[in-house]
Structure formats: C-alpha cells, structure tokens
C-alpha cells in the first residue's frame, strides 16, 4: 500500500480525524457519556434498546441449525447493524426474502437463518459451496484476498481513491460486475479507469419526491451530526432563523454543545433505521437541510425526506445534487456559500410558500 493521498487525508480530517486508542471499558464509558451529553437520555435509551435486540438476535442465530449451502457469499468488512449507517441499511434491505445467499461479516457467517463458524473467506467459501462473492462496500475490505475468487463489487463510497492506485484498477478491471448507487459515483470512478463499465442500481428503499405539497412548515436537519455531514454549520443556520430548527440524528457531543445553547433548536437525537419519514411527518417538517460538505454517493436521508413529503436544500455536489436536478423538490446552493447560502435558500423557500 502507498501512503494515503491528500484527498484521503482531507476526508479523514472532515470526519473528525484519528482517535487515540483507549481501553475498551474506558471507550464504552466515554461513548455513553457523550451520547447523554449530546443527544440526551431518551436517545441513549433508544440506542441501548437496539443494542439489546441485536444481541438477542445474535444469540438466536447461533442456536439455530439448518442448511449451510449458498450460491453467493456476500462479504461485508463492517458491521451489518442498521444503526451503523446507510450501507448496512441497504444491505439488510436487499437481503430480505433472498435465498441461496450467505453473509460473512465481522460477527460471523450467517447462512440459512443460522450462524456458522468461519474465520477466513476461503473457509466460508468451502463451508457454503458458494460460486462467487458479492463484496458489499470496499471500505476496509481485504481486496487482495477477495480477488482470488469470482467477484461482484457494490461500491458505496470513494474508498478506492484512498488505496494503492494499481490495486484499485485491479478491482475495477477484474470484478465480474460493478454496481453503483448513482451515476455520480460511477463517473467519479472513471477517473481511475476511463473505460469503466458498471451498473447503476439505486437502493431498494429509494423513494421519489411526493407529488403532494409539504404537510408542514417546520425546518429540520436529519442524519449523522458529524462534521462531514455539515453539522458544524447548524448553529449559524439556527441563529439566522426566526423559527425552530429540529435536529434528528445522533453524533458528536462537541457539535451538539453549541446547538443546545440555542433556544430555537429542538434536539430529537438518535432514531432507528426506517423511522425518519414518520418522525418528519409527526413533527410537520416541510423542509430538510442536508448540508454535507463531502459529496454523497446516494443519500438515503434525501429519499426519506421525500418519502415524508418534505422538500430539501443541499449543497450542489455529489449524488444529492444529481438526484435533486433529476427529480426536483429541492434547492441547490454552491458549497462555497456555506451556512449563509443555505439560510438564503431557506428564506427563498419560505417566501415562495408565503406567496403561494
């Protein structure tokens, strides 16, 4: 591997930088304290309840017995818990109702509704008799090892830009099929391989904009309260508004701190996967601000906002811009305009609603 590129370092800085290693017990206590300080007690309870359910499901799978055969082995290098983000949500949505597939992930090998022991990819292929591997996301994946087998790759992010360029080209050339969630991400990877051929398959939970007008007038931010999602811009946005700003999602305590000091910010905290549309509708959210400063490869939150009948304001880059241009029901502002550009777009939206 070569040293990460300047772009990779910039993306890491945008996501908050490296964290110092600490003992597991101390890390857990710190994480709980940060959730309580940032998201609040109710959010911490929702997170704890979901962790308990996941543990119970894990125990149940280990106790079941059944067939170990599968035609396709799906490999994920990261957690498959929906609480961990969009890739896991997309994966679990696709797996519903599928047969003859096995799933190898950090928690073990899941096949036929039960969990088998397998410590390597080769062992999982032998146990299941699978004929090919479907790699679900390239982040942290052992690419050299995976390329020894017939490989289908679903690409969800810009990980291949952060590794050795020759290895990235090998993945794109040697894979039997490449799947992208958006044309933006496909075109971006043609910077590595100009002749790249791939298939665009939007996530199963993709939802077009509602033809009906928004059911409410409230304004919200939704998603991970992280710097790369633009959450550091929220205090400036809230100060410029003469109405409440609802914040749905968990994240960094240091980003919640200035938000909690503002009287017009309503923090709802962590929400379970799939519940955002109903939350937006319940609180009569008519406009969702998605200020990601890193280009999105798809944006599930955009789909969920549209599902709730809300309009969206976002920066003009990435797949979110591509989708808003294609379907409407939103406004785009230049990234360099920052919080001021988002506030101006909110003002234009409010004026347009008032005159209609």
pLDDT digits (tens, 9 = 90+) for 81-90: 555 455 656 6
Residue 219 has pLDDT above 70, yes or no: yes
pTM score, whole prediction = 0.76
Instruction: Please give the Cα distance from 82 to 322 (Å, whole number).
Output: 25
pLDDT higher at 343 or 97? 343
Distance (Å) of CA 224 to CA 13, 213, 220, 297: 16, 26, 13, 15
Task: For the chain, give every domain's residue range.
Answer: 64-200, 218-355
Contact 165, 4 (CB under 8 A): no
CATH number of the domain located at residue range(s) 218-355 in this protein: 3.40.50.2000
**Chain center to CA of 132:** 26
Per-residue pLDDT, 175: 96
pLDDT tens for residues 25-46?
A: 565 556 656 665 666 656 665 6
Mean pLDDT for 224-239 is: 97
CA–centroid distance for 207 within its chain: 16
Q: List beta partners, residue 248.
A: 222, 269
Residue-level pLDDT at 95: 59
Q: Is there a shared CATH topology between the 64-200 domain and the 218-355 domain?
A: yes
Task: Round to whole Å and give the CA distance between 342 and 291.
Answer: 8
| 3-class secondary-structure state, position 242 | coil
Rounded to 5 degrees, φ, ψ at 95 are -75, -20
Q: Give 146's pLDDT tier (boundaries 50, 70, 90).
A: very high
Does domain 64-200 bear CATH number 3.40.50.2000? yes
Q: Give me the count of residues in the chain.
A: 356
Q: CA-to-CA distance for 175 and 218, rounded, in angstroms?
A: 46
Amino acid 63: pLDDT: 39
Instruction: Report the chain's mean pLDDT, rounded to a whole number.
Output: 81
Q: Residues of the chain with pLDDT > 70: what percent? A: 70
What H or E segment, with its residue span, contains residue 33? helix 24-38
User: Which helix (H) or strand (E) element contains residue 116?
Assistant: strand 114-116
Predicted confidence (pLDDT) at residue 286 exceeds the cutoff of 90: yes
Q: How far apart are the C-alpha atoms of 186 and 199, rounded to whole Å? A: 8
């Amino acid at each position: 591997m070569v040293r990460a590129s300047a772009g990779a370092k910039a993306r890491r800085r945008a996501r908050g930088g490296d964290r110092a290693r600490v003992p597991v017990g101390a890390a857990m206590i710190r994480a709980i304290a940060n959730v309580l300080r940032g998201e609040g007690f109710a959010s911490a309870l929702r997170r704890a309840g979901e962790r308990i359910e996941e543990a119970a499901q894990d125990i149940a799978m280990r106790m079941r017995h059944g067939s170990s055969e599968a035609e396709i082995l799906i490999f994920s290098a990261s957690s498959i818990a929906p609480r961990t983000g969009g890739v896991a949500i997309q994966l679990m949505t696709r797996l519903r109702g599928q047969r003859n597939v096995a799933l190898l992930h950090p928690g073990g090998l899941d096949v036929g509704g039960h969990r088998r022991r397998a410590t390597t990819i080769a062992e999982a292929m032998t146990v299941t008799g699978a004929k090919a591997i479907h790699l679900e996301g390239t982040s942290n994946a052992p690419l050299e090892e995976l390329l020894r087998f017939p490989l289908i790759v679903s690409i969800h992010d810009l990980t291949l830009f952060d590794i050795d360029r020759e290895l990235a080209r090998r993945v794109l050339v040697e894979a039997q099929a490449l799947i992208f969630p958006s044309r933006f991400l496909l075109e971006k990877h043609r910077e590595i391989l100009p002749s790249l051929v791939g298939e665009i398959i939007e996530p199963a939970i993709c939802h077009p904009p509602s033809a009906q007008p928004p059911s409410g007038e409230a304004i919200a931010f939704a998603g991970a309260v992280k710097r790369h999602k633009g959450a550091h811009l929220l205090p400036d946005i809230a100060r410029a508004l003469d109405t409440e700003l609802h914040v749905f999602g968990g994240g960094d305590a240091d980003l919640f701190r200035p938000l909690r000091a503002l009287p017009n910010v309503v923090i709802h905290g962590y929400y379970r996967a799939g519940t955002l549309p109903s939350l937006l509708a319940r609180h009569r959210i008519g406009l969702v601000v998605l200020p990601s400063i890193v280009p999105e490869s798809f944006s599930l939150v955009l789909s969920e906002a549209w599902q709730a009948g809300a309009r969206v304001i976002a920066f003009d880059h990435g797949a979110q811009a591509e989708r808003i241009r294609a379907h409407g029901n939103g406004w785009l502002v230049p990234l360099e305009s920052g919080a001021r550009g988002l506030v101006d777009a909110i003002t234009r939206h409010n004026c347009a609603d008032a005159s209609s």
